[in-house]
Amino acid sequence: MTNISLFFATNNVHKVEEVTALLPDFFQIRSLESIGCTEDIPENEPTIAGNAIAKAQYVHDKYMVDVFAEDTGLEVDSLDGEPGVYSARYAGPQRDSIANMRLLLQNLGDKKNRNARFRTCMALIKDGQIHLFEGIVEGTISSELSGKEGFGYDPIFVPAGHSKTFAEMSLKEKSQMSHRARALNKLIEFLSKNPDKRNPQI
């Protein structure tokens, strides 16, 4: 298998760690820092897919590299799909995960329907073309925070068929079923079937 290296349009160390752990040996992530991209990448689109595309487009247009980006949202049925695209900023622009979770639990209250899902969209820009991959994992919202692993809403999300939150699972356990893993596997499959014939190092 031809080695693949690709820029990941994020400065979120947790996302880099999680995605890196999922990659096969022939796939390496290249850091944005190596091309001097240390700025906050805009996330102003009204949809999760739109944000993923916008972040990839920002890095591609400014640095002229092939790149992939992702955006993830938690969708709670009883809250009409909130927080959705605003997941990271649910409790305000400070992006405080604890505040986000506490606000969500407050808004959910004692509603019986606690069904929710994590949705990840990954956008790949390769040879100037945009490709989109989606991963979804269904689950429920717990009544309180539990676990110290993971990040974001992991301490209150229990994936379907399990009794532990994502934050109570090891990275290996979470990676076997996570939304991010499902989207990434589709991206890897696409790249494996569509190598860059002009340059094996994408």
Active site residues: 71
Distances (CA, A) of 173 to 9, 40, 107, 151, 177: 25, 30, 29, 14, 7
- Mind spelling out the 3-state secondary structure of 146-159? CCCCCCCCHHHEEE
Report the half-sphere exposure of 165 (CA within 13 A, side-chain side).
Answer: 19
Give the angle 50-17-77 at the CA atoms, nearest 5°.
45
Region of residue 123 (left: phi > 0; alpha: psi -120 to 50; beta: else): beta
Dihedral angle, C-alpha 28, 31, 35, 38, nearest 10 °? 160
Q: Which residues pair with 68 in a beta bridge?
A: 8, 124
68: which 2 tokens? 């992939």
> How far, in Å, CA of 161 to CA of 202, rounded?
38
